[in-house]
Amino acid sequence: TLIRDLVTEGRIGEASRLLGRFPALFGKVIRGDRIGEMLGHPTANLRIPPEILLPASGVYLARAFILEGWEDGLLYIGTRPSVGGKELRCELHLFGEVRSDLYGLDLEIHILERLREDMTFPSLDHLRVQIGRDVERGRARLRDYPPIPERIGG
């Protein structure tokens, strides 16, 4: 369908308008290799069921329902080429305080917009700087989005 094509191309705004809501995905938090933490931006690594439609690789502004409420952050979808990755990964970096209680939780993540395509960086320092820019840009962009009224997954 058109909406599926828009999502897989990373055209989240257009898909959202047609859907009447933000595209969402669901996944379980699993242990990763802690590269995000090493870079100063810890992530929740997500196991996404194969039937879930994923957007194009890149960095997305997102809202996740965690335990009792919504938290804002960045969703990365890609193979992590800067660290020699080959497998597709989904990783969520939350803007709030670092949480260690996420392992095993099922998260509902609403994708607000694509901030940029996936990129390869010449060093981990370059990657760290870009993640900092992504976080800054993401926080600024949140002002344009109303709170999400309800969960899809109930």
Q: Per residue in 135-152, pLDDT tens?
A: 999 999 998 998 877 788
Q: Per residue in 72-103, pLDDT tens?
A: 999 999 988 777 777 888 999 999 876 667 88
Provide the number of structural domains found in the chain.
1
Look up the domain containing 31 and give its range: 2-144
Provide DSSP, 10-59: T-HHHHHHHHTS--EEEEEEE----HHHHTT---EEEE--TTS--PPSEE
The band of 36, judged by pLDDT with boundaries at 50, 70 and 90, is: confident
Average pLDDT of the chain?
A: 89
Give the model's pLDDT for residue 98. 63
Whether 151 maps to a domain, the answer reads no
Confidence (pTM): 0.91
Q: Which of 31-40, 53-62, 131-140 has the lowest mean pLDDT?
A: 31-40
CATH number at residue 85: 2.40.30.30
Whether 150 maps to a domain, the answer reads no
